[in-house]
Amino acid sequence: MASRKNTKKTSINIWSKLPKPYFILAPMDDVTDTVFRRIVGECAAPDIFFTEFVNVDGLQSPGRERLLNRLQFTSVEQPLIAQVWGKDPERYYQTAKELADGTFAEESSGLMDVNYAGIDINMGCPDKAVVKNGCCVALVNDRPLAQEIIQATKEGAAGRLPVSVKTRLGFNEVDYSWPEFLLGQDIAALTMHGRTRKQMSKVPADWSAIGKVRELRDRLNADTSIIGNGDVMSYQQGIELAAKHQLDGIMIGRGIFHDPYVFAKNSPWRETVALKRLELYRKHVQLFAETWGENGRNVRVLNKFCKVYINDFGGAKNLREQLMNAKNTTELSRLLEEAIDYTATQSKIA
């Protein structure tokens, strides 16, 4: 790849700025959009947010406009890391350049004075179709391309945004030569999901292996933060894992589905009554409708969140079934209002 020049000034490396261990909301497709990030932020904000992962090939194509909502954010979702994936180094370069110079912040969100805090490369998604196309965790088996992608992204960012990587322990088996290779690329941070591609999410995350990656980092004297990811269900569990394996940070993904306050030192969620849970879901639905409208994102996306809020109280299962069959946010809001009114009335009677 030809050498490129960019004269933009260097920015602060968010990974070295935050107190350790820091906590991160993991990037999840059709989950961690600007709406849910704001809900999580109101409940108990992580130290760092991630966008959904967005394809660089699509961003540098006629389909660009359709993908911009994956990068959309507000000034309250800070600091925010943009996660990208794809296969073409040239498109990584151009995407990184436009992330760093504020082009995507303005195009996606209309913001000119707030930008992303970093760029993360997804080298861990195990989706069959993605892997078949040679992307994400498939790069474990194509390290020359992985190196070219990282270099292109760093050149595009030109020091204005730190570049990090999120990946798995290996493809079919744990392979420490993979994180060793990545640590040799002078990246700002490396998030290790404690499973291989073959394991998907079928086995518990291997935190001892994540710890060995941190040990490897120390032996190589690499200036890269090490973040652990996999099966963390509470802030306290994250603190214990970070201390045990001497990690810089903890990333939480599916744990957020069990507790929207998962980043709180003392989560109130277990004691949160049905009325408050219903009201929080109503807020989520209203924000979704205001942000995306009826013709934006499909209302079915909200089904992923239904069990987060509508759980652990009498009649929750039947109410979930009604809510998940709603055809639009108007119907969904009506059903929630009825449930809130009924629950409030029953609370007064009790």
Q: Which helix (H) or strand (E) holds 215?
A: helix 207-220
What φ, ψ does residue 149 adopt, rounded to 5°?
-65, -45
Compute the distance between CA of residue 293 and CA of residue 288 in angstroms, rounded to an integer: 7
Set 43, 125, 136, 306: catalytic member: 125
In angstroms, the Cα distances linking 334 to 77, 121, 134 are 29, 40, 45
The CA R_g of the chain, rounded to the nearest whole Å, is: 21
- DSSP helix/strand/coil, 126: coil
CB atoms within 10 A of CB 316: 18
- DSSP helix/strand/coil, 87: coil
- DSSP helix/strand/coil, 308: helix
Does the annotation mark 125 as catalytic? Answer: yes
Peptide bond into 27 cis (omega under 30): no
Return the active site residues: 125
